[in-house]
Structure 1
Amino acid sequence: MHFAVLADIHAYGSTVYSSTGVDGINTRLSLILSELQRAALTLQAQGGKSMFIAGDIFHTRGSIDPEVLNPLRATVEEILNMGIDIHAIPGNHDLKSKDSRALSSQIENLAQISIAGGMFRCYNQVTSFQVEGQWFGFVPWRAALKDLLEDLGDLSAHPAHADMHVFIHAGIDGVLSGMPAHGLTSADLAKFGFKRIYAGHYHNHVIFEDGAVVSIGATTHHNWGDVGTRAGFLMVDTDSDAVSFHDTRAPKFTDLTGLDETDMEIECRGNYVRFRGPTMTQAEINELRDQFRKWGALGVSIEVPKTTVATRPSAAASKGLTIDQSVANFIDTAKAIPASIDKEKLKKRCQAILDESRSIFEEA
């Protein structure tokens, strides 16, 4: 059996680096839907008929924009017309409520589609069943970790749990380098003994525990928080027990800071790029932005420190600490900071925020 796995589609009408296409659809939304179609075509080419989505089909919680819903629905209908069934769980962005309920799930709009080819099903409660002789389990979004673990424990009592592919929407520690640990590790998930757990929520594709736990990753990059992450979709072959990652073809958010000119040119091609550097004049900013665009950047963000007027420091001022030093000293001496927090990493994060507050943002 071949099946496709996606997560964190986040369909919405972006206002950043976007416009309205000739068809009236937001251009960033069109890119997202094109990747959804590509996953379906890849699945069809491999003879597969089942697509699984591990949450966050929508982006804006509790509100549905018709200019998002209608193009998304049309894309889903095209996929169903191909004879492909879509099985989905709600993620936190798909819900108006704190936890998964059919009443507050935006995905239920897609479950109303009636097509002769395939079906769209949304699972708001823990469930399991067989498709083409393979077992699949579903645990929708749970706001509390203890509830998620309890649901997985109940599902692991199933007599066929060792052969079951399970889909959840939960962040796993270690998937995102800048995200603090919150208590759900890949080892915790592997202990349940399922065939494999596929997790949506954190936007980066990572394989853990010799393939027993997989962070799917977002279908495309969505913002600067996705810099350096792997986005795309997965294809699974149960006969060979293989999981293959298909990198997104949509533009990515890329940081050019610290790269040499050759690498900058490569990264600019077809992507949204960001550069952070020293103080620059407006003329220098314009020149740099134009160069990035010549190299093929679809969007440019230049963040450089603001220029300041030099003044003669007073004797009192020269003896004082800078804000940067004061923040670092506070972190070193603060007793309220838990021992589990890496103070050096915290200081670097605070310094980055201070630097950002002194920056000029040039978006184009």
Structure 2
Amino acid sequence: MKIWMISDTHLGCRTNSVMWIELIRSYFYEFFIPLIKKEANPKEDILYHLGDVFDNRQSINIAVQNLAIELFDELTKYFKEIHIIVGNHDIMKKNSTDITSVDCLKYMPKVYIHKHSTIKEYIIDGKVIKCALMPWQVDEQEELDFLSKKADYLFCHAEIKGHQMTNSIHNVVEDGVEINEFAGYKRVYSGHIHYGQHKVGTNIIYVGNPYQMTRSDISNTKGIYCLDLTTGKENFYENTYSPVFLKFYIDEILDVELSEFFKKIKGNFVDILVPSSYMGKYDINKLILLCSEYANRLDVIVNDDGGIDDIEEMQSDFNILNIAKTYIANSTYDDELKEKLLNSFIALYNECLNEQQNI
């Protein structure tokens, strides 16, 4: 008997982006479900979703809800049971788990929604294996009280101090529960933090989201964990299908064969960092247009500090807003005209963005 784990699917991410709806659907039908068909036993194996099925905690887009119902209905064919623990993005109220977006799935056969902590018992070769399921806790003391109960494994959606939030070693969880509160379990598997990781010297694994969703996921390997309750061994199945986020400096591109570079970026989300001094000296438009034919999305970032960690996520296929800001700032126009041009461009940019989101 095996327990398969997935977490933080965030259906409806990027403001219900049609592109992301299709990317997620494709992930399940082209990678996850074929993997399960090959490796899982539908009469014995169980799926645990470790929280944040949906992205928006206040409203669910009809297309997104339809995708969730479609996917979980399909997944019931390949698992004996499916257990969903409620994540912080699944609850409407921050201080209560009573109203959740995942309630739309509770009427499906073999699907169980866990709004409150519970312990499941499985008998393996005559031995009782206890699996604790702990959804997002709105009360810290209740969380600590539950963690004091004895179980072999913990599956949760929690903030645990000292773990990385992103690919930056300086961005760590400062609030939440102390690591030593989880010491009584053979292994802890948690959702909530998208950056998959196993902190050295601990029994805690953040399974991460199943596919890269933001620049913070750069170089973070995504995949699926599977725990064999009979042997206590776990397997990790890497997601080799979904697009990933890549970052290149313009000089890196100029030094390689373009055909090889195009293979590398094909279908992925690509940032190309260009020093502002290049904008007026070189015509890079042709290169950028060529690259954009291969990438799933291409952003040109005018940047002189060598990094993009603080650049917020952009919604357009090209980061023309940053380019326009840099061009206007470096122009010879007087300050009054610069301000008018920038305001006009931002208004036009937002108008186009709103039209794109309504398509």
Give distance in 2, aligned partners of 1:299 and 1:351. 19
Residue segments in structure 1 that go unaligned for 5+ positions in a row:
20-24, 307-323, 325-347
- Determine the structure 1 residue equivalent to 2:287: 288
CA contact (8 A) 2:189 2:205 kept: yes
Alignment partner for residue 153 of structure 2, among 156, 164, 173? Answer: 164
CA contact (8 A) 2:44 2:79 kept: no
- Determine the structure 1 residue equivalent to 2:330: none
Q: Give secondary structure in 1 for the equivalent of 2:37.
A: helix
Give distance in 1, aligned partners of 2:261 and 2:82. 39
Matched, 1:230 2:221: yes
- Residue type matched to 2:268 in 1? N
Give distance in 2, aligned partners of 1:99 and 1:267. 45
Question: What is the CA RMSD across the aligned residues, in angstroms?
Answer: 3.7
CA change 1:222–1:352 in 2 (3 A) is closer
Residue segments in structure 2 that go unaligned for 5+ positions in a row:
313-318, 325-348, 354-359
- Determine the structure 1 residue equivalent to 2:332: none
Q: Give secondary structure in 1 for the equivalent of 2:246.
A: strand
- Residue type matched to 2:37 in 1? L
CA contact (8 A) 2:83 2:113 kept: yes
CA change 1:31–1:285 in 2 (3 A) is farther
Matched, 1:135 2:124: no
CA change 1:201–1:264 in 2 (3 A) is farther
Post-superposition offset of 1:210:
4.7
Report the number of matched residues: 304
CA contact (8 A) 2:167 2:220 kept: no
Q: Deviations over 1:304-327 (max 9, x none)?
A: 159xxxxxxxxxxxxxxxxx9xxx
Alignment partner for residue 61 of structure 1, among 46, 57, 77? Answer: 57
Matches within 5 A, 1:35-50: 35-38=31-34, 40-41=36-37, 43-44=39-40, 48-50=44-46
CA contact (8 A) 1:2 1:46 kept: no
CA contact (8 A) 1:256 1:264 kept: no
Give distance in 2, aligned partners of 1:237 and 1:55. 21
- Determine the structure 1 residue equivalent to 2:199: 208
Post-superposition offset of 1:88:
1.2
Alignment partner for residue 241 of structure 1, among 232, 237, 258? Answer: 232
- Determine the structure 2 residue equivalent to 1:278: 275
Matched, 1:197 2:195: no
Alignment partner for residue 243 of structure 2, among 234, 237, 251? Answer: 251
TM-score, normalised via structure 2 length: 0.72
- Residue type matched to 1:68 in 2? V
Give distance in 2, aligned partners of 1:111 and 1:17. 25
CA contact (8 A) 2:136 2:156 kept: no
Matched, 1:297 2:295: yes
- Determine the structure 2 residue equivalent to 1:27: 22
Post-superposition offset of 1:205:
1.5
Matched, 1:153 2:144: yes
Q: Deviations over 1:251-282 (max 9, x none)?
A: 11222238834585564133111111212449
CA contact (8 A) 1:186 1:209 kept: no
Give distance in 2, aligned partners of 1:58 and 1:298. 23
Aligned residues: percent identity? 18
CA change 1:258–1:190 in 2 (3 A) is farther
Alignment partner for residue 188 of structure 1, among 148, 156, 180? Answer: 180
CA change 1:227–1:47 in 2 (3 A) is farther
TM-score, normalised via structure 1 length: 0.71
Give distance in 2, aligned partners of 1:257 and 1:80. 45
